[in-house]
A and B are shown apart, each in its own frame.
Chain A
Amino acid sequence: MRARAAWRSGRVRIGGILVAIVLVAGILAPWLAPHDPEAQDLLALLLPPAWAPGGQAAFPLGTDTLGRCVLSRLIWGARVALYVAILASLGAMILGGVLGHVAGYFGGWVDRLISRAVDVWMSFPPVVLSLVLMVGLGVGINNVVLAIILVDWTRFCRVLRADVLTVMNRDYVTAARLAGFGHVQTIWREVLPATLPLLATLVSLEMGMAVVVEAILSVVGMSVEANVPAWGVMIADSRQAMYQAPWNLILPMVAILVAVLGFNLLGDGLRLALDARQSGARAEAP
């Protein structure tokens, strides 16, 4: 059992390290990046990484089709990815979390209304809905955030509603109501603390999802403004030159994988830790 627990925290640890790398790169971007991510050097187009033949020390990871420093763009891209991931997942958490709690807590027609809305939303493939939303909203980084919130709130709503329903059977919720707590107070003080671990897990997974959605929208050209160095934009830009410069394509992909894997491991680790607490007996089973 102890070995399991250690391994479990190991998962959180690996995820934490990966996320920390992205976090540090994003926060310290202006100091870490050797160049301006948008500065073009037309005498140094499509340079390979510095260690490869023909590479230059000034561009450690080479340059893209416009002679922009790939390393600098990767580092600034971390900032864009974090901006989208944090705002979008928090927004989706607030919208979906509030509706999920309201649906689970009040039940009845409120629950039916919200659940029906979730059904309608879920019948859109997420990629299609986000694309349609971007057509309606227009490109731009804040619209990407808004589109992700409007697509992914259902993930939070559906799962949290089910969780609230089980919490509602607990005696302490009834006790709180009998003690004269109002609805908002009961949800805030009694229900929310019980659903918080699940919420944290979902937020972590949603951050990974947001990074992917941003990249997907960038690849079809419906994401951030042209002058924002996002990883998805880097992939889209380097597709044309993939035969001459495959590293231009591989590096932003690695960045996306590091971020998504980090968020997923973190979320998974949290889920396992939470699972063990809720049903310690079952975790002992084979």
Chain B
Amino acid sequence: MIATLLRIVLRRLLAAVPILVLVSMMLFGILRLLPVDPAAMSVPPNATREEIETVRRDMGLDRPIPEQYVRWALTLLRGDFGTSIHYRKPVGPLLAETLPATIELALAALVVAGFLGIGGGLGLFHVRGTWKAAVGDLGSTALMSIPSFLWAIILILIFAVAFRAMPVAGRLDMAFARPPGTGFLLLDAILAGRLDLLASAAKHLVLPAFALGLSFSPPIMRVLRSGLHDVYAEDYIRQARLRGLDEGRILIGHAARNAMLPTATLLGVQFGFLFGGTLLVEVLFSFPGMGGLMVEAVRNTDLPVIQAIGLTYCLVVLAVNAVTDIVCLLLDPRLRAN
């Protein structure tokens, strides 16, 4: 039994490897379309033609593109992400600094989206068949039309411009120094036993997390509601009614559990969008994560940084997709059979 499960998990993880390789080739290929010359950009403006040529040779840019790709991939495998042209620093530490912030934001947003989505889905299902359902439906379409970056601006306008009630920049108040540790601020603050730090970090996290979570809750609401519709057509719901259980218990105890499976799958799929969505929300909230670094790199055409961050985004998405698949397999014995 455990051996079978392990084999399934292993096979699922292995399936992601060729995709990751293709993704990295694509990323590399697109960035080579670029009309600018990274070698010329990484030398002072008064450099001579010969100096630029030397740099080009040092960076391996005189080689054919497939060879450049192989070189890049090999250094990546050694854990070396290259050197930023703009910061003149290795990319690895830059990533290590910003990735935890982005993951923390994405997870917080997932929690918000999960609560709003599941609550909303149960609510939408509860009012089915009444005029409220039409209103709710229209409302969820309206919610779906507001992308996360607009939520970010709306929240900034409300909480910073109109009421000046919440901080809208960074991860901590200026007065605090970042605590050493994992880079996950909430966790680090708890580990250090600093409640003031925890409060400040949480306060900075709330609005960005809501901006992302609000925009990702409508699809969850809808999938949960249609999942409940399907489950309510099953015999065991009628059985439960015949046994005299009240509607609330049927909904929560019997139906919701089974309707959660497609919802969990969707949460996994949506995570990719959500994780990408952090990019702009980070920029708008000056949140020091990967998104901010990426946009900075894009403005400076800092190819090594763009490549490394792009690949990291894909890696996280692939990993989350694999984990979602595995969790679904564990949850649903029917899927495991084949």
The chain A residues found within 8 Å of chain B, CB to CB, are 7, 11, 116, 119-120, 122-128, 131-138, 208, 212, 215-216, 219-222, 235, 239, 242-243, 246, 249-250, 253, 256-257, 260-261, 264-265, 268, 285-286
Contacts and interface: CB of A to CB of B under 8 A. Distances in A.
A96 B27 CA distance: 20
B280 A216 contact: yes
B284 to A, nearest CB: 8
Nearest to A242: B161
Contacts of A138: 34-35
Interface residues of B, number: 55
A212 B35 CA distance: 27
B313 A124 contact: yes
Contacts of B27: 132
B75 interface: no
B313 A136 contact: no
A138 B31 CA distance: 11
Contacts of A285: 229, 233
Contacts of B299: 221
18 contacts: A120-B22, A120-B23, A123-B272, A123-B314, A125-B314, A128-B276, A128-B279, A128-B314, A136-B31, A138-B35, A246-B157, A249-B153, A253-B150, A253-B154, A257-B145, A260-B146, A261-B145, A286-B229
Nearest to B36: A138
Given A123-B272, A243-B161, A253-B153, A212 B31 contact: no
A15 to B, nearest CB: 9
A124 B280 contact: no
Contacts of A253: 150, 153-154
Interface string B315-338: 001100100000000000000000
B9 interface: no
Interface in B31-55: 31-35
B138 A216 contact: no
Chief secondary structure at chain B's binding surface: helix
B19 A7 contact: no
Given A123-B23, A253-B150, 11 more contacts: A116-B22, A123-B318, A125-B277, A125-B279, A126-B273, A132-B27, A136-B30, A136-B31, A136-B34, A246-B162, A285-B229
A255 B141 CA distance: 17
Contacts of B240: none
Nearest to B303: A135
A70 B321 CA distance: 44
A123 B321 contact: yes
A237 B248 CA distance: 51
Nearest to A267: B141
Contacts of A132: 27, 30-31, 306, 310
B33 A137 contact: yes
Contacts of A126: 273, 276
A212 B147 contact: yes
Contact of A7 (B134, B157, B317): B134
